[in-house]
Amino acid sequence: MRGENGIAFSMPGGDVSGTAGSRPVDLAHLARQTMGDRSLEQEVLALFVQQALSVRDRIVDADVKQRLLLAHGLKGSARGVGAFAVADCAGAIELQPE
C-alpha cells in the first residue's frame, strides 16, 4: 500500500525498497529492538498495525482523557518499532488532546 508521503505497509513483511528516510519504519531501529530476529520484527509490526488501526478508529470520538491515553500509548509503541513520524503525530495529539 502506498501512502501520499511514501511507502506504507498494510501488514509487515512487505518487500519494499527505498532509503531509510523514505520508510515509515526505521528498519535498523526495529532490528536493534528485536536483536535482528526477523520473525519477531514481523510479529511486533503486526501488533503495532493492530494498535494503530484501533487508535485511529477510537481517537476521534474519545473524550479528552481517553484521547490523551490513546495518543500516549501509540507514541510509545511507535517509538519502539521505529515509526518516528507516527510517534511525533501522536505526541502532538498528546500535547493538545482537545
Which single residue is written with the C-alpha cell 481517537?
Answer: 59
Ramachandran region, residue 82 (left: φ > 0; alpha: ψ -120 to 50; beta: rest) = left
pLDDT band at residue 91 under the 50/70/90 scheme: very high
Query: Which residue did the predictor score with more confidence, 94 or 9?
Result: 94
- Give the domain range for residue 86: 2-95
Mean per-residue pLDDT over the chain, rounded: 84
Is there a contact between 97 and 71 (Cβ–Cβ < 8 Å)? yes
Specify the range with the lowest mean pLDDT, choosing from 37-41, 87-91, 94-98: 94-98
Q: What domain count does the chain have? A: 1
Q: Is the pLDDT of residue 13 over 90?
A: no
End-to-end CA distance of the chain: 31
Q: Angle CA(30)–CA(38)–CA(9) in degrees, nearest 5? A: 65
What amino acid occupies position 88?
Answer: D
Q: Is the pLDDT of residue 64 over 80?
A: yes
**Mean pLDDT on 31-40:** 96
